[in-house]
Each structure stands twice: as C-alpha cells, then as structure tokens.
Amino acid sequence: MSVFETLWEYKEMYLQGAGVTLLLTICSILFGVILGFGLVFMRLSEVKPVRWLATAYIEIFRGTPLLVQLLIIYFALPIQVDKFTAGVIAVGLNSAAYLAEIFRAGIQGVDKGQVEAARSLGMTQKQTMRYIVIPQALRSVLPAIGNEFIVIIKETSIVMVIGLADLMYNADLIRTKTYQPFPSLVGAAIVYFIMTFSMSKLIGRLERKLNTNDKN
C-alpha cells in the first residue's frame, strides 16, 4: 500500500488525530503566551526575588526535556489530570519559558529614547508599555514567535506516550493495522507538514501586513 493510498483509506483517523493536534496546539499556545508575558514582566522586575523566580523557571523548563515534564505532570502529580489537560499544561509550561525570552529580547530591543519621550509626554509606565513598547517588541520578534508556534505543533506529538489520540498516536495505530510503518508514518509527516507550512504562511502574511502598515 502506497503512502497516498494509506492517507486516503485511513483519512478519518488522520483527520481526527490532526484535529486533536490542532486543538492541543491552540490551547498550548494561548496558555504559553499568557504565562510567557507574566514571566517576562517578572524577569524584568526590579524586585530581586521575583526576578530570580522567573529566571529559575525559565532555566529549569528550558534545561529539561519536555518528555520528562509531561510524564511528571501526568503520572507524578498528586492531582490526577486527563490526558489532554496534561498535554496542554506540559507543552504550555515549556513553551512559556521560550516565549518569555523571545518577548524579553523584543522589549529590551525597543529604543530607550522612545520610552523616555513617552514618559516626558506624561504617559505612565503602564501606558508606555501598552502603547509604545509592547507593540514594537511584538512586531520585531514576530518571526521568532512564529517559529515557536511551528515548534509547538511538532512538539505536541510527544503526547502519544501518555495515550492521547493525536495525529502521531493515530498514525501508530494505522501502522499496527497495516503492518507497514513507512506509509503510515510518512502520511503523518505529510499532515504535519501541511499544518506547519500553513502556520508559516499565516505568520509571513501577518508580518508583511505589519511592515506595510509601518510604511504607510
């Protein structure tokens, strides 16, 4: 059986798995972005304990494998969570550490002269961050954010180890049904490529739109 024959015959399993993967990705991204913003403000805080706590979090989650983090959350926590929630928490917590550093680079890359000009015009620190710093920071690091989102799509495949029926888990089921690993796994790779390629195009389109608005 060829790759495309496998894709067609088991299209429902691939689509169901892709749906779980996309939902897991979206939830993880939302969680990671919100937590990442919180971490970056803690990281830039003038209060040392707060700054140290954020730094420790980032170093720990960037310095340990996502697989280990997922297994700890699903198997070792005193509170039992379902497979999907465990996947969202693990991927979101891990991604937040990387997004926080991306956001920090963007914020620190904003010209200090613009910040001083905003403050001289009577804007508060919160207003300056909201209207001057954060929009420019996000625009400058948008490609890096897009790359992280693409990484998240691929990293969600790790949830198959706890039995969540995502794309990779269903592809493995197809492998056991057909006894042909190559077509089933290459089929999964094709679906992953379609998702990541689409995400890349969306990010690129958004980046071009923002650049056009800047020129206007």
Q: What are the structure tokens assigned to 213, written together?
A: 């608005």
pLDDT in tens, 125-172: 788 888 888 888 888 898 899 999 999 999 999 999 999 999 999 999
Pairwise CA distance, residues 134 & 102, whole Å: 12
pLDDT value of residue 71: 96
3-state class (DSSP) for residue 105: helix
Residue range 3-215, CATH number: 1.10.3720.10
* pLDDT: which is higher, 127 or 21: 21
Q: Return the domain boundaries, the chain.
A: 3-215
Q: What is the pLDDT of residues 96-109, one digit of tens each?
A: 999 999 999 999 88
Which pTM was predicted?
A: 0.90
3-state secondary structure 17-48: HHHHHHHHHHHHHHHHHHHHHHHHHHHCCCCH
Chain centroid to CA 13: how far?
24
In whole angstroms, give the CA distance from residue 99 to residue 82.
25
Q: Is the pLDDT of residue 214 over 90?
A: no
